[in-house]
Amino acid sequence: MDDRELSALAAACKEGDERSFRILVDSLTRSLIAVAYRYTGDWEWARDLTQETWVKVYGGIKRFDPAHSFRAWLYAIHRNGCLSHLRKAWVRHESNPGDDPLSRLRPVSAGVDPEEEVERLEFHRLLLRGLGALSESQRQVLVRVDLEGGNQKEVARELGMKPTTCRATLHFARKRLATIVRGMEERGDQED
């Protein structure tokens, strides 16, 4: 479904058409959960954050301007929700609440070793904690490129940077994050 179709459906939602809203939910939920998963590394949280995004969109659809892209509006809300979740995790020094790491395994677990999956989750937790120690610009670029899988040139344009600046910022952000993660691993911060 292209941007124009999505914006038309959103305009119908604005007029109170719930059927159109359901179509939007069915069409975009998979992508939103995937994005949230890249932020959190946690499927349950990804699902909850996506649900929260839809609840916010449902309550704020009146504020949507059909002259603009609904997809961009939706993803901006979703990204803010995910970042807000990460900020809370940075403050609390915990990226993924939940006592049982196995509850956060991939929903499709065929061929996935549970031990490897737990190790992967713990590493993801370290990465998210490390993100909190980066500068704002480094974090923005790294999140948009490495976590969301965005194109460097597009991210540079969206953030108002030169492509070379964006590339350099990403380079130093990755180096710094690696140093931070290594330091946390050596201190045994995984056990927090």
- Residue 170, CB-side half-sphere exposure with 13 Å CA sphere: 22
Dihedral of the alpha carbons of 7, 9, 11, 15, in degrees to the nearest 10 = -170
Relative orientation angle of helices 114-131 and 163-187, to the nearest 10 degrees: 120
Q: Which stretch binds another protein (CB under 8 A): 32-40, 60-68, 88-96, 131-139?
A: 32-40
User: Smallest gap, in angstroms, from Cβ of residue 150 to another protein?
Assistant: 10
38 binds another protein (CB under 8 A): yes
- Between 94 and 146, name the residue whose CB sits nearer to another protein: 146
Of the listed pieces 3-11, 66-74, 89-97, 141-149, which binds another protein according to CB under 8 A? 141-149
Per-position x/- string for 53-82, each x denoting binding to another protein as judged by CB under 8 A, each - no binding: -xx--xx-----------------------
Q: Give yes or no for a contact between 129 and 184, defined as CB atoms under 8 angstroms apart.
A: yes
H/E run at residue 121: helix 114-131
Q: Which among 163, 171, 164 is positioned nearest to 146, based on CA atoms? A: 171
Residue 62 CB, shortest distance to another protein, in Å, is 14
- Quick check: 153 binds another protein (CB under 8 A)? no
Q: Is 11 exposed, middle or buried (0-12, 13-18, 19+ CB in 10 A)?
A: middle
Q: Scanning residues 84 to 123, which ones bind another protein (CB under 8 A)? A: 106-108, 120, 123
Among 12, 61, 89, 147, binds another protein (CB under 8 A): 147
Toward another protein, which CB reaches closer, 67 or 103? 103
Smaller CB separation from another protein, 15 or 160: 15
Separation between Cα atoms, residue 174 and residue 24, nearest integer Å? 35
Give the span between the Cα atoms of 56 and 34, in whole angstroms.
18
3-state helix, strand, coil in the chain (%, to 5): 80, 0, 20
Per the CB < 8 A criterion, the answer to whether 3 and 70 are in contact is: yes
List 3, 5, 30, 72, residue binding another protein (CB under 8 A): 30
What are the residues binding another protein (CB under 8 A)? 22, 25-26, 29-31, 33-35, 37-38, 41, 47, 50-51, 54-55, 58-59, 106-108, 120, 123-124, 127, 146-147, 149, 171, 174-175, 177-179, 181-182, 185
